Structure formats: structure tokens, C-alpha cells
Amino acid sequence: MIEIIYSNFGFWINLLIPITVAIYLTITNKEYIYKELIIQIIATFTYLSLIFLLLFSTTTDLIDTQYFNGKAKKIEFYEEWTELRVHTESYECGSSDNHKTCTRTVTEHIHHPKKWHILTTNDEKIKITKDEYKKAKLDFGVKKEYISRINKISTGDGNKYVATPNIIIPTSVAHTYINYVTAAKDNVIHTKISKDDMKLFISENKLHKYPPLSKDKYGAKKLLRIIDDSNRSDAQSMQDKLDLFCAKYSKTKQVNPLIYITKQDRSFKTYLETYWNKGKKNDATLILGVDANGKVLYSDVIAWTNNTDFIVDCQNSFKGLNVKNDAIKLVDIFQNLILSEYERKPMEEFSYLKENITLQWYWQLLIILGNLVISYMITRYFLTNKTLKRDKSKSTEL
């Protein structure tokens, strides 16, 4: 993110304006000293870094989300406890004529509330509820672990209870990343589909949004991996099998497999690729075009990968199979192709696009106006402060 901000031409233009004014005042105004010049530069640099960071994060498609898949390793409950924290703080004391800084000792009682969460094989923590933990406790049992806590003043609490699952509980956890492709002004995802065609396609319910997360009875989150527009597939069997695959292999292969079953023709891939911005960087989305009976007429894949064999084989390996009768076989073939041929394309290969990632003109204008206001207030304070000191000095001499 930082390199994108500093690659933006507008950042340096904004920084140049107050620096130029500060240098001019340093030369022409004796009341403006070099120390204030440094403060002015630091203040401007800090403001620009923060405002650019905020706007790039919230007004562009720079921050994207991918899903890391794994399984529940432990389901934990932490008791509440109270901590005694003693520290020293400074405060202003003395009179107006004898101003000084004093210190005092502060004693605090810090309450740490109860916590329930799932610990995944990726060392992620998924917050769960008390009731979800109770279900895990009932199904798997729990083991108490005593925790030695420094400065604990409460008694008989602060320990941990752990339920270790004896079944595979798949998990999917969202992680953010920098998506140079979707944020770039000159997007490398080219399409011949007009905006009107896309709107019509969406209004006719021919496209679904990116699949959401669901929760199981223990509170574990996982993606709904099967989208079926045909209503002909054994979607649940396919979902369960892909979940188990992800729990075992998704971390090592850095992949997030999805299956989209549609009654549309081959042009559907282009629509979906545009609508989903080609998916997340670790997605491998298998598209299965089927007839009224669920027979696969064609297959295709959307994935950020450098291995064209994976794409070609996904296009040639599923024709003639049935998404209901051959559901398990379909998933087996897809999984084997991922294991043998899928290679995730690093997003860093698109880092050259960072110079094309810019803010809209109205946000640039807002930054400039904010920059001018802050620079004016700082400059005015410095000059007014020096004037007051000079007036006070003259009155003392008289």
C-alpha cells in the first residue's frame, strides 16, 4: 500500500505546495525558523500519508479479500479474569508561574471477559458463541488447561477449556490483499461486454454474486462452493467433497476451488469473469454448462494461473458427465487437475500497475483543500505565536 501511495503523482504535488510556502517564509520572514519548517514538512507528510491510505482503502478496489481454507484444530473457551495493572503516568502540575511535570502511580483493575473461538490449522481464530461452544463440548468433550497469568488478582478463573474435534470441520477465513489488477485505471481485464448487456444479464438472474460464507453448528465459517443455476446437480455431495479437499490441500496448493453450474452458453464465462473481476487471486472456478438433464455440454475455468495446461484440461475433461449422477466423479477430476497442474499466479507480477492506480478527481480536490487548510492553520499559528512573543518582549523592555 505504501509503495502505491508514494508512486502516486498527486502525493508529491500536494507535498510540494506547503514545502514551497514554508521555504519561502523561512527566507523572507525572520519569525519563521528552520525548526518550524521541519515541523511543517512532517505534519504535511503525515496528513498526506494518512488521507491517501484512507481513500485508497475505501474508494478504490485496491483492497480485496481472498479465503484461506483449512479445518478446526481446537475449539477453545477462556474464562474471564481480572488483572492488576500498576503503571506510572505524567501530568501537568505547579502554578502558571512555576509550570512543571509531575508523575504519579496509577493502579487499575483490568477485566478480561470470557472468550470462545475456533483455532484453525492456519492458526486463525474464528469467534464463536457460547452455545456453539457448548455443542462442541457435548460432541467432543473438553480438557481444562491451567494458565499462569501475571498480576492476576481474581481467583479460580482465567483458565482455558479445549475441545479437540475428532471429525474434520472445514473452515474458510477471509484475508485481505492488494489487488493491483482491479484497482488499476488501465485494467488488464479486458471485455467486449457492454455495461447495458451486463445489467440485462444480471437483471434476468443469470449471474450470482460471489458465494457467501455460512456457519455450521460449531460456528465454523465456510464458503458455499457450489452455485447451481440448473437445479439438476447433487450440490450437497459436491460441496461436502470439496470442503474435505480444501481442509487437506488448500493451504499447500494456495487454492480456493469453486464450481458454477449454468444453463447458459459458452459466452457465460466472459460475463462471470467480468462480474467477479476474474475472482480472487487464489480462486479456481470451474464452470459447467449443462442441458436440461444436467449433462455437461462444455466446461471452462477462471483462475489466476501461469499453467495453461490446467486451463486446457479443465475445458476438456468434463464433457458428457452428469452433474447429479456423476457428481463425485466430477469433483474427483477437478481435484486431481488442481493437485497436478494448478499453479497460483502471484499478484506481485502485476505490481507494475501500481502507477496506474489513482483516485478520482474529486477525492484529489478534497485532499488539496484539506492540505491548504492544514498548512494555513500551521503557518498562521507559527507566525502569530512569534508575533505575540515579540510584543511581549517589547512590553517587558518598556
Q: Where are the domains of the chain?
A: 2-59+360-397, 68-163, 193-345
pLDDT of 108 > 70? The answer is: yes
What is the distance between the alpha carbons of residues 339 and 333, in angstroms, rounded to a whole number? 10
SS3 222: strand
pLDDT of 17 > 50? The answer is: yes
SS3 content of the chain, % helix, strand, coil (to 5): 45, 25, 30
Show contacts of 193-200: CB within 8 Å, 24+ apart: 193/270, 193/271, 193/274, 198/271, 198/274, 198/275
What is the distance between the alpha carbons of residues 172 and 247, in angstroms, rounded to a whole number? 9
**pLDDT for 80:** 94
Show contacts of 113-118: CB within 8 Å, 24+ apart: 113/80, 114/77, 114/78, 114/79, 114/80, 115/76, 115/77, 115/78, 116/75, 116/76, 116/77, 116/78, 116/219, 117/75, 117/76, 118/72, 118/74, 118/75, 118/76, 118/169, 118/171, 118/218, 118/219, 118/220
> What type of residue is 353?
L
What is the distance between the alpha carbons of residues 245 and 258, in angstroms, rounded to a whole number? 12
**Residue given cell 488539496 in the structure block:** 368
DSSP 52: H
**pLDDT for 283:** 96
Decide: 311 and 334 in contact? Cβ < 8 Å.
no
What is the distance between the alpha carbons of residues 129 and 136, in angstroms, rounded to a whole number? 11
**pLDDT for 307:** 94
Decide: 321 and 330 in contact? Cβ < 8 Å.
yes
pLDDT of 97 > 80? The answer is: no
Q: Which three cell numbers stand for residue 328?
A: 463425485
**Residue given cell 497469568 in the structure block:** 149
pLDDT of 20 > 90? The answer is: no
Of the candidates 233, 262, 263, 395, which has an alpha carbon nearest to the alpha carbon of residue 330?
Answer: 233
What is the distance between the alpha carbons of residues 391 and 21, in angstroms, rounded to a whole number? 25
Phi, psi of 12 (to 5 degrees): -75, -30
What is the distance between the alpha carbons of residues 241 and 239, in angstroms, rounded to a whole number? 6
**Residue 109: CB partners within 8 Å, gap ≥ 6?**
82, 83, 84, 85, 153
Dihedral (Cα; 391, 396, 397, 398), 10-degree rounding: 90
What is the distance between the alpha carbons of residues 75 and 333, in angstroms, rounded to a whole number? 33
| Mean local confidence (pLDDT), 358-381 | 83
How does residue 31 score in pLDDT terms, banded at 50, 70 and 90? Answer: low
Is residue 75 exposed (0-12), middle (13-18) or buried (19+ Cβ within 10 Å)? buried
What is the distance between the alpha carbons of residues 326 and 256, in angstroms, rounded to a whole number? 22
**pLDDT for 91:** 86
Decide: 290 and 323 in contact? Cβ < 8 Å.
yes
Report the greatest alpha carbon distance in the chain: 103
> Where is 26: in which H helix or E strand?
helix 9-28
**pLDDT for 398:** 44
> What type of residue is 315?
Q
| Mean local confidence (pLDDT), 85-91 | 89
Q: Kindly report the pTM of this predicted structure.
A: 0.80
More confident residue, 388 or 132: 132
| Mean local confidence (pLDDT), 325-336 | 97
pLDDT of 246 > 70? The answer is: yes
The neighbouring-strand residues paired with 178 are 63
Q: What is the CATH number of domain 193-345?
A: 3.10.310
